[in-house]
Amino acid sequence: MHEATKKGDFLHRPDVVELAPDLYLIQGKNKARFPFCNAFLITGNENVLIDTGVGVVRLRELDDSLRIDKVIISHPHPDHISGFKVLKDRPLMLPAETPDSVKDLVELGTRFMGSREDGMVWAEYAKTSLGLEPLRDSDGRFGDGDVLDFGSVRLEAIRAPGHLHDHYCFFDHCSKTLLTTDIDFTSFGPWYGNPECEIAPFQESIRKIMDLPYLRACSSHKPPIEGDATNEFTAFLDMFKQQRRRILHLCDPQATIEQMVCISPFYGNKLNDKRLQVIFEKNMIMKNLEILMRDGRIEQKSGFYRMVR
């Protein structure tokens, strides 16, 4: 098949959305629900892919049709790097803040879980359930405010910590397209289950991103939003309050952290790997308890958390 025809065929698939000239959203498998995510394709001076979690089959079909020249990773959560093994021989760009732990699954798991013991559990899950392989040394780094110029697409890299220290969004100055990555507008709400995640910086990042002069907003786990996405950003921000109210309710009359984790206010006990669920639940619950205690809404006594009357 002629190369131009192959390229045209792929870009007209129903799981591909043209966002602007030379800029496309490739929908992740299973509607981009975890452990998959949307990827963003640039076809200007070269074929560049942002994130590789669309699914291995879809990624291979994309590469067979267009031949990806370069890979950019927005942040190293497993759903964003899972397909890199398909493109591991291509130039790789990582955030400036991403540590070398991405080159070893146990080290990466230790970062995400808080201890080496739990990191080994995460690594086992990532390898056996997600087919994850570690990344390698990058061929380049980008930092906050850097502009990645691909001709018809000029992406400004915008660091947006809170979800992860090295979490990035991107803004195309040519088409005013905003790639919000894991400021993702999902019904689960903001996710901050790793030890390094922080609620206040996450909220600040959302406010910073939503103030950009965008014409469309595209996340890693939902369809694109054309035009003003203020309602979606505001609803996503409001979910922090909803999550905190959920935790506050568990403190009436009182509960231990272990009891709250068993109730599973975030996952509803639906995560397949219960070992990971317990750790993520505890991290997210504790971050809310810290805020509630600081605000004088709850108190801790003898291992129990209870509302202040």
pLDDT digits (tens, 9 = 90+) for 189-231: 999 999 999 999 999 999 999 999 999 999 999 999 999 999 9
- What is d(CA 147, CA 158) in angstroms, rounded to the nearest whole number? 9
Instruction: Tell me the torsion sign for CA atoms 125, 162, 185, 66.
Output: negative
pLDDT of residue 76: 98
Read off the pLDDT band of 4 (50, 70, 90).
very low
Peptide bond into 91 cis (omega under 30): no
Contacts made by residues 274-279, CB under 8 angstroms, sequence distance 24+: 275/121, 275/125, 276/121, 276/122, 276/125, 279/113, 279/114, 279/118, 279/193
Q: How far is CA 306 from the centre of its chain?
A: 33
Q: Is the pLDDT of residue 1 over 50?
A: no
Average pLDDT value for the chain: 96
Read off the pLDDT band of 5 (50, 70, 90).
very low
**Span 95-123, mean pLDDT?**
97
pLDDT of residue 173: 98
Read off the pLDDT band of 244 (50, 70, 90).
very high
pLDDT of residue 114: 96
Report the interhelical angle of 3-11 vs 56-66 (nearest 10°): 140
CB atoms within 10 A of CB 217: 25
Q: Which residues contact 227 (CB under 8 A, 6 or more apart)?
A: 215, 216
Do 221 and 41 contact (CB within 8 A), yes or no? no
The DSSP code for 255 is B
**Span 268-275, mean pLDDT?**
94
Q: Is the pLDDT of residue 47 over 70?
A: yes
User: Which is nearest to 74 in space by CA: 175, 11, 148, 127?
Assistant: 148
The stretches of 137-273 forming alpha helices (DSSP H) are 199-210, 230-250, 257-263
User: Which is nearest to 285 in space by CA: 252, 253, 254, 256?
Assistant: 256
Please state which CATH class domain 3-98+138-241 belongs to. alpha beta
pLDDT of residue 175: 98
**Span 262-290, mean pLDDT?**
96
Do 299 and 306 contact (CB within 8 A), yes or no? yes
Q: Is the pLDDT of residue 59 over 70?
A: yes
Domain boundaries, the chain: 3-98+138-241, 251-307
pLDDT of residue 71: 98
Q: pTM for this one?
A: 0.95
Amino acid residing at 41: L
β-pairing verdict for 298-301 and 304-307: antiparallel
**Span 58-82, mean pLDDT?**
97
Do 256 and 305 contact (CB within 8 A), yes or no? yes
Do 281 and 265 contact (CB within 8 A), yes or no? yes
Do 27 and 37 contact (CB within 8 A), yes or no? no
Q: What is the dihedral of CA 289, 295, 300, 306, to 10 degrees?
A: -80
- Sheet with strand 225-226: strands edge to edge: 147-149, 154-159, 168-172, 177-181, 216-219, 225-226
Do 279 and 113 contact (CB within 8 A), yes or no? yes
Token duo for residue 245: 């109210």
pLDDT of residue 7: 60
Q: Is the pLDDT of residue 187 over 90?
A: yes
